Amino acid sequence: MRRRTLLPLAVLALAAYFVFVLAPLSRRSAALDAPLEKEWQALASRLGATNTATIDFQGITNRLAQNRQTLDALREARRLTAERLKLPEEVRMRMNFPFQLVDYENERSRQVEELRQLARQRKVNLDPAVLTAFPEHTTDVRRPSLLWPALEFIRILLTSAIESQVAAVHSLSVPPGFTDGPTAPGMPAEIPIQVEVSGSMDQVARLIQSLPLRHDELEAAGLASLPTNKPALFIDRLVIRKQSPDKLDDVRASLRIVGFVLPPQEVLP
C-alpha cells in the first residue's frame, strides 16, 4: 500500500523537476546556442571552411605559427633596413634641434671647401656648378631639418666619386621639393640627387658599387678608402654612355641617387 502511494508522488516529483528545472535549462541552452552558432558560422567563414563541423584546428595552429615566423622575419627586415638607413649621430642631433641658418651655411661652406681641396688632391675635375648646387634655405623650404641629411648625402656622393677617382663630376642637382617630406605619415622622406660623372668604366663602376654599401661591406669589397660611416644610398636610375667610339673604356654616367630619412620613431638609438 505504501509503495502504491510513493509511486505517484515520485512521478509527480519527476514531472515537476522536468517542468521547473530541466525544461527551463533546455530553453536557456537553446537560447545560448543561437549566438554560439552564429559566431561559429562567422569563424568558419573567416577560415574559409565550407563545413562548420570539420574546422581544421591543427591547420589553423600551423598557419598561426607560420604567420608568427613571417612577422618575426618582417620585424628583422625592418630592423636591418633601419640600420642601413641610419644617419651619423651628428646629423641626427642637428635634425633634432631647431634649425639655425647660420650653422647650416657655415657647414655648407666648410664641406664645399673640403670637397674642392680633396678633388684637387685626387686630380678630379669638379665643374664649378657642382659646388654651387648644394641645397639652400629659402622661403619655400617646408621642413628645413631635411637640409641636414641632404647635405650629408651630397658630401657622401661627391666624396665617393672623388675617392673612386672618376675623371670629372660634371653636374649635380637636388629637386627643391624634397623638403616637403613624405607624402604619407610614417613613411621615410626621400631625397633624390642627380649627378653626372665621367671616367673609365672601372672608376665609374667603383662609384656605383660603393653607394649602397656600409662599414664592413666596403672593406670586404676593397673600397675601404671611401666613406664608411654613412647610410646606404640607392641608385634609382642609371644611364651609361660611351664618350667616344675610339675610347671604349671612356664613359659618361648619369645617376639618380636617392637617400632616405626615417621618421623619428624609426630612428635607431
- Residue 185 CB neighbour total at 10 angstroms: 7
Quick check: 161 and 183 in contact, CB under 8 A? no
- Would you state the pLDDT for residue 170? 97
* pLDDT for the residue numbered 158: 96
pLDDT of residue 269: 43
Q: Which three cell numbers stand for residue 230?
A: 654613412
Q: What are the domain boundaries of the chain?
A: 2-82, 90-266
pTM higher than 0.85 for the full model?
no
For residue 170, the number of C-alpha atoms closer than 13 Å in the C-beta half-sphere is 10
196: nearest Cα among 151, 239, 165, 163: 239
CATH architecture under which domain 90-266 falls: 2-Layer Sandwich (3.30)
- Taking CA atoms, 163 is separated from 158, 193, 226, in Å, by 8, 18, 6
pLDDT for the residue 27: 64
Per-residue pLDDT 10s for the chain (269 aa) are 545 555 565 555 565 555 555 556 666 666 666 676 777 677 666 666 655 556 666 766 787 788 888 888 888 877 877 788 889 889 999 999 999 999 999 999 999 999 999 999 999 999 999 999 999 988 888 899 999 999 999 999 999 999 999 999 999 999 888 877 666 777 888 999 999 999 999 999 999 999 998 878 888 877 777 777 789 999 999 999 998 888 778 999 999 999 999 887 544 44
Distance between first and last Cα of the chain: 94
φ/ψ of 51, rounded to 5, equals -120, 110
Q: Give exposure, 125-161, as e/b (b: 16+ Cβ within 10 Å).
A: ebeeebbebbbeeeeebeebbbbbbbbbbbbbbbbbb
